[in-house]
Structure 1
Amino acid sequence: MTTKILLVTYSWSGTTAKMATALQKVTGATRVDLTVAADTFSTDMYATASIAKQQLATGQLPRLTNPVPDLTATKLILVGGPVWSGQVATPVRAFLTQLAGYQGTVAPFYTDAGTPGDYEADFNQLLPGVKVAPGLGMTTGQVAHAEAALKTWWSEMQ
């Protein structure tokens, strides 16, 4: 049986989506783009940050509008998202809550405006009992020239 690789991503501004597109070319993974209702976040970065902080404070993560695929045959999930205030973006958090009991490996990739904060520690904490591989973060400026770094990260994971 072939090892199935799933690439799951959420992108608020489009930067993480660009990284995910490049990563999909490197890995050949099946891709799922996480979506939330159109009125969940603002188009303004600061307003979105406030909304996300409120979601975290209340524990009311946004509802994903697309279903998570069957993960039975999936051995590796590459999970991408933006860094929000040094943490995992709330739509990605909503997805990670659905991975309780997952038996494969999960690896984060993420984009930030220059400060990743404690993103990987936060990511790991959200997946107790799940094997998490070291992640790969990039700034917005690095994404345009990401291919070499993505290939290196991918080769280290295999």
Structure 2
Amino acid sequence: MATKTLIVDYSWSGTTAKLAAALQHVTGGDRVDLTVAAETFPNDMYATSDVANQQLTTQQLPALTNALPDVNAYDVLLVGGPVWSAKVSTPVRSFLQQLTNFQGTVAPFYTDAGTPGGYEDDFASLVTTATVVPGIGLTAGELRDAEQQLTSWWQNLIK
């Protein structure tokens, strides 16, 4: 039986979107990009970090502006986003809060500048009903030659 897979990603700069597209090629899964209102984050990454930290402090996560499919129609969710201050980006957090009834497997994928810190632990703490498995993180420079690495990760994930 084939594994029905949904790839869900938020990409602030476009790097995570490239990783999500590569994962879609490897897995054959469906894909949806998470979106927030255009004025939610500035174009400067340091200013964006400040906004995200404020959102975390106040627990005022950004609203997602696009329709999402029924995640319960899938066996595996691959959920991706950028690493922000060693944490899950706030748009991805908004999505993960909606997984209250999902019983399948969830795996993080993420892009970072070489220092993911405790990203995967933070991610796992946000998913309460599903099985979280080890994810994969890449830098922008690693994306060009990532297909074999992604294929190997995916094959291990669905064993």
Question: Shorter-chain TM-score: which interval?
Answer: over 0.9
Q: Distance in 2 between matches of 1:71 and 1:151?
A: 23
Pairing 1:39–2:46 present: no
User: What is the letter of the counterpart of residue 43 of structure 2?
Assistant: T
Identity of aligned residues (%): 62
Cα deviation for residue 101 of structure 1 reads 2.1
Q: Distance in 2 between matches of 1:140 and 1:53?
A: 23
Is the contact made by 1:3 and 1:73 (CA closer than 8 Å) also made in structure 2?
Answer: no
- Determine the structure 2 residue equivalent to 1:93: 93
Q: How does 1:73-84 map to 2 (within 5 A)?
A: 73-84=73-84
Cα deviation for residue 91 of structure 1 reads 0.3
Is the contact made by 2:10 and 2:91 (CA closer than 8 Å) also made in structure 1?
Answer: yes
5+ residue gaps, structure 1: none
**TM-score (ref. length: structure 1):** 0.97
Is the contact made by 1:111 and 1:138 (CA closer than 8 Å) also made in structure 2?
Answer: yes
Q: Distance in 2 between matches of 1:60 and 1:114?
A: 28
Cα deviation for residue 72 of structure 1 reads 2.5
- Determine the structure 2 residue equivalent to 1:142: 142
User: What is the letter of the counterpart of residue 23 of structure 1?
Assistant: L
What SS class does the counterpart of residue 134 from structure 1 fall into?
coil
Q: How many residues align?
A: 158
Q: How does 1:2-21 map to 2 (within 5 A)?
A: 2-21=2-21
Q: Distance in 2 between matches of 1:84 and 1:122?
A: 11
- 4+ long deviations beyond 4 Å: none
Pairing 1:68–2:33 present: no
Select between 46-55 and 68-77 the one with higher mean Cα deviation.
Answer: 68-77
- Determine the structure 2 residue equivalent to 1:49: 49
Per-residue CA deviation, residues 40-95 of structure 1 (Å, 9 max, x unaligned), is 00000011000000000000000000122112321100001000000000000000
Q: Distance in 1 between matches of 2:145 and 2:65?
A: 31
- Determine the structure 2 residue equivalent to 1:151: 151
Is the contact made by 2:4 and 2:74 (CA closer than 8 Å) also made in structure 1?
Answer: yes
User: What is the letter of the counterpart of residue 99 of structure 2?
Assistant: L
User: What is the letter of the counterpart of residue 131 of structure 2?
Assistant: K
**TM-score (ref. length: structure 2):** 0.96
What SS class does the counterpart of residue 107 from structure 2 fall into?
strand
Is the contact made by 1:78 and 1:106 (CA closer than 8 Å) also made in structure 2?
Answer: yes
Per-residue CA deviation, residues 100-143 of structure 1 (Å, 9 max, x unaligned), is 12111100000001100100000000012320011001112111
